[in-house]
Structure 1
Amino acid sequence: MITGKTLINLGFKQGKWFKEAISYANKHNLEGDNLLNYLQSAEPIVIEPYATPLNYHKNIRAESDEEVANVEQIHKTMEELMKTPTLVEGAVMPDACPTGAVGQIPVGGIAVAKNAIHPAMHSADICCSVMMTNLGHIDPKKVLDKAHALTHFGGGGRKDIFDLPRDLEDKIKSNRFLNTDRSLKFARTHLATQGDGNHFLYVGRSEKTGETMLVTHHGSRGFGANLYTEGMRLAEAFRKQMSPKTLAKNAWIPYDTEEGKAYWEALQIIREWTKLNHKLLHDTTQRRLKVETLDQFWNEHNFVFKEDDLFYHAKGATPLDDKFVPDSKDGLRLIPLNMSEPILIVKGETTDSNLGFAPHGAGRDVSRSQHKRNKADKTKEQVFAEETANLDVRFFSGEIDISELPSAYKNAQNVQDQMKEFGLGEVKDKILPYGCIMAGDWEVNAPWKIKARKKREAKERKAKNKIAKEKYRNR
């Protein structure tokens, strides 16, 4: 009778695979060389991280003293990231900034993996993307007003639910990762919503033609975040079995497994849903304005792109190469900078150093909290007035978020200069800003914050009443 002790005595390391291997060996009465050969074939292959990091392409340069520390941290995290044993190539863009622990892919990073999908490298904001619609020669204020009445920023879904198309719902239900009540609820209620953070609805005019253009920026909301959670759970199970020394955040799902193919299909469904999310906002706004759509295109800048058995994880990087964007329109891509700067319409080609990508925006040199501390000598109203002069900037929640104002981001001109320097796309047109809508600091009046405030106020009232009674009794 073969037991776990038998396998250990033969020199095999104990693991979950023991149970299935022991059952198979006993069922087939394996012994001697036959047993050893079988166990060697059944034993999971353990993959060690690279001892030294792979080289990666550095399409970035510090332009100021403040940027020096940021760029140093980017290189530090990239060097750790490039020890991940699935990776074959990598790059960083001029708008790169670190996020998370050392070794986690930075915003503005590209990591190319062989036969592997790394959920943390596309993050919870799967398919964060931008869409542009040319609405012709129309007053941009009218566009912003109509869009404002339609869009939805902040946490949660919306009450006036848009219908989820039946064919898309069927695709969701056919996928093992997406066919849950929670996932379907997000897909239905988060449709035509834009979330929070740096997501926006922007209106401006073409520098070349003067035509008014609407641009939206958001990802897949709770629908995508729910898939990310499932993906990370599965990737961690594979990591423990296949590569326990790899950083947990760099765990992966092997594509050549049933789970890997199902996860890839789920990502494509998330992509389809996210494009629909943009399109509902654009097309409904256009219909309510009673104007024609002269042009419309979109692109992701936070996704995983596949070429044969290579998976390009672009964490905040715009795909230039049409092979990455199956619904490309004339090879044009959108790169937003900040609310006071133009949105760039670019076109470009793959080079050895850009790997087929461009920046996705202006990036940050310091964290949101540090930026707020840097502005502590002024009120948020003062900062807002200074940085949004002559622009129609609105916060959907009614609360100013200074961490989304222009000074929170890298110098936009420096990013554009480095795009030229490193061959990261050619600017074909610019959408000059009229105004935009963002979530703002919506958590100020989030339900749980209001509940906590009321509880605190009730406690304070009770304490004051108690003191007043004591004073009355002691008169």
Structure 2
Amino acid sequence: MNELTPLTGHDLTAWGHTPGPQFPALLERANTLLGTGRNRDDIREALAADLPPEPVEYPLQSAADVPLFENLTPADADEETNLSKVRETIRAVMETPTVVSAAIMPDACPAGPVGTIPVGGVIAARNAIHPGMHSADICCSLMLSDLGNADPKAVLDAASQVTHFGPGGRAQGQRFTVSLDLLDAFRANPFLNSAKTIRAAQEHMGTQGDGNHFLFVGTSRRSGRTMLITHHGSRGPGAKLYKAGMEVAERYRRKHAKGTLKQNAWIPADTEDGVAYWDALQLIRKWTKTNHNSIHQATVEAVGASASDRFWNEHNFVFRRGDVFYHGKGATPAWRDFAADADPAGRTIIPLNMAEPVLIVKGADAPNGLGFSPHGAGRNWSRTEHIRRLGAKTPDEALIEEAKGLDVRFFCGKVDASELPSSYKPAAALEAQITEFGLATIEDWIDPYGCLMAGEVPRYQRRVKGRR
């Protein structure tokens, strides 16, 4: 190449400079030096002081150096096997450079390949938000409304007409309203400002999805009053935020922490990306709370009741204390004021299974739980293994046997065997371990009248987006 040929941005990039706002001035300076007769090697050396610093590489740390608190006492061989797998996966997570402590709850069980945060896992990370640790079901949460003396059957009947389970969202003409202020806030955030995310926020309002999400009606043991409880997360908008967050976290991982597992990539909280992602999480949290509220309020109006009390809590989310970010994957924050709208009385909600009471507890902010309590009963084996263990018994037969006397309904018409009570850990054991490890104080038990689950979706129905 002729030494007098003007230098370009490609030359600067080849020399290791990063494109950005500083590029025009740097290029002008390079060509000025070229015009004075300096050769390219001299110019490259003259500009070396402006090279960006070498990226900091964060190596894996030893899990042995990170405190791990176990709040789980295995009761049988299945529980021993489960705990062994939980230990294996959470210790691999603890090698992530940002992690400063970890805990497992009584409901802990693996949730993916080794190195993936388990259900019932809590990870504390300094100055880092790990999207993979709150998972795609961001802000999966529970809300309770006290409906006084309302007839439980009437409440469940009304709720069955109000709510929506299954894949996709609501069809045109059946959608719940989303406030323009909330949609505008989505548009102002770089992680949420996409046509698909905005559309999902509109279509999925008033929906609960599938899997273990439910609508439960029961009676308070302490007051005898009827309670409505919903369980679901942020649906499509949350899943899209998770995907966007993982993409940004992966860029940081490739630059600074190649040894870290992809599912444990993080966004530095003090960066522009970190601030925007934290704000996006709060907006998704607001959307999810609105979603719960919309289903509760529509049910209240349909049954002609009123709600004298309502509170909620999330268990797939990130909570901040100073510069440490606590990632609860299927774990419930158990300290007062974990959020500005946390219940003033410090109550949170822990469901067990469809045939057992929902627990109302007050958190203990236990150091051995990193301030968390369980989110539910958890599983000792996979959904597939549970179905295998049913043997010749059909899901319908098992439901009749396990939920005798309860009004259990499946929105999509077919019993989901993986949600039967026998697929979960024994409720009594979980309740006992909450007390044994001092994770929370049980204040009330909401005994079940019945519930509405998603159920298995027929194959033809899965192909029809938005169908009820």
Normalising by structure 1, what TM-score? 0.88
Query: Quick one: which of 393, 396, 413 aligns to 2:411?
Result: 396
Please state whether the residue corresponding to 2:79 is helix, strand or coil: helix
2:335 to 321, 324, 327: 321
Q: What does residue 39 of structure 2 align with?
A: none
1:81-120 aligned at under 5 Å gives the runs 81-120=93-132
Q: Which residue pairs with 2:273 in the alignment?
A: 259
Q: Unaligned 5+ residue runs, structure 1? A: 8-13, 451-475
Runs of 4+ in 1 over 4 A off after TM superposition: 1-4, 14-39
> Given residue 237 of structure 1, which amino acid in structure 2 is its aligned partner?
R
Residue in structure 2 matched with residue 76 of structure 1 by the alignment:
88
Greater percentage in helix? 1
SS in 2 for 1:163: coil
Cα distance in 1 for partners of 2:371, 2:222 equals 26
Indicate conservation of the 8 Å contact 2:336/2:363, yes or no. no
Deviating more after overlay: 438-447 vs 294-303: 438-447
Which piece of structure 1 moves more, 230-239 or 198-207?
A: 230-239
| Whole-Å separation in 2 of the counterparts to 1:15 and 1:284 | 63
Query: Taking structure 1 as reference, are residues 25 and 46 closer, same or farther at Cα in structure 2, changes over 3 Å only?
Result: farther
CA apart distance, 1:34 = 7.8
Aligned partners of 1:363 and 1:171: how far apart in 2? Answer: 35
CA contact (8 A) 1:90 1:111 kept: yes
Which residue is equivalent to 1:357? 372
Tell me what 1:197 maps to: 211
Aligned residues: 444
Rounded Cα–Cα distance in structure 1 between residues aligned with 2:165 and 2:288 = 15
What is aligned with 2:300? 286
Alpha-carbon distance in 2 for matches of 1:80, 1:447: 36
Secondary structure, counterpart of 1:210 in structure 2 = coil
Q: Would the aligned equivalents of 1:48 and 1:243 in 2 still touch at CA under 8 Å?
A: yes
Map residues 67-466 of structure 1 onto 2, 5 A cutoff: 67-159=79-171, 160-329=174-343, 330-448=345-463
Pair 1:406–1:445, CA change in 2 (3 A): farther
Q: C-alpha distance in 1, partners of 2:197/2:152?
A: 36
Query: 2-side partners of 1:256 and 1:386: how far apart?
Result: 53
Secondary structure of 2:310's aligned partner: strand
User: Any gaps of 5 or more consecutive residues in structure 2?
Assistant: 31-41
One-letter amino acid matched to 1:42: P
Pair 397,47 (structure 1): closer, same or farther in 2 beyond 3 Å? same
| Counterparts of 1:443 and 1:81, CA distance in 2 | 37
**One-letter amino acid of the structure 2 residue matched with residue 45 of structure 1:** V
**Contact 1:299/1:325 (8 A) holds in 2:** no
- Check whether the contact 2:333–2:363 (CA below 8 A) recurs between aligned residues: no
Distance apart, 1:283 and its partner CA: 1.0
> What amino acid is the match of 2:106?
P
The RMSD of aligned alpha carbons is 2.5
1:351 Cα deviation after fit? 2.4
C-alpha separation between the residues in 2 aligned to 1:323 and 1:43? 41
1:16 Cα shift?
7.8
Q: What SS class does the counterpart of residue 313 from structure 1 fall into?
A: strand
Quote the sequence identity (%): 48
> What SS does structure 2 have at the residue aligned with 1:442?
coil
Q: Distance in 2 between matches of 1:47 and 1:266?
A: 26
Structure 2: distance between partners of 1:248 and 1:164: 34
Letter of the aligned partner of 1:354 in structure 2? G
Question: What is the alpha-carbon distance in structure 2 between the residues aligned to residue 355 and residue 443 of structure 1?
Answer: 42
Aligned-partner Cα distance in 2 for 1:151–1:278: 10
Instruction: Give the deviation of 1:322 after TM superposition.
Output: 2.1
Q: Distance in 2 between matches of 1:445 and 1:221?
A: 21
* Contact in 1 for aligned 2:167/2:462 (Cα 8 Å): no
How big is each residue's C-alpha offset from its partner over 1:420-448, in whole Å with a ceiling of 9 and x where there is no partner? Answer: 11111000011000100000011444343
| Distance of 1:19 and 1:169 partners within structure 2 | 33
1:348 CA drift (Å)? 2.0
Q: Establish whether residue 50 from structure 1 lines up as the match of residue 61 from structure 2.
A: yes
- How far residue 378 of structure 1 moved from its aligned partner, in angstroms, is 1.1
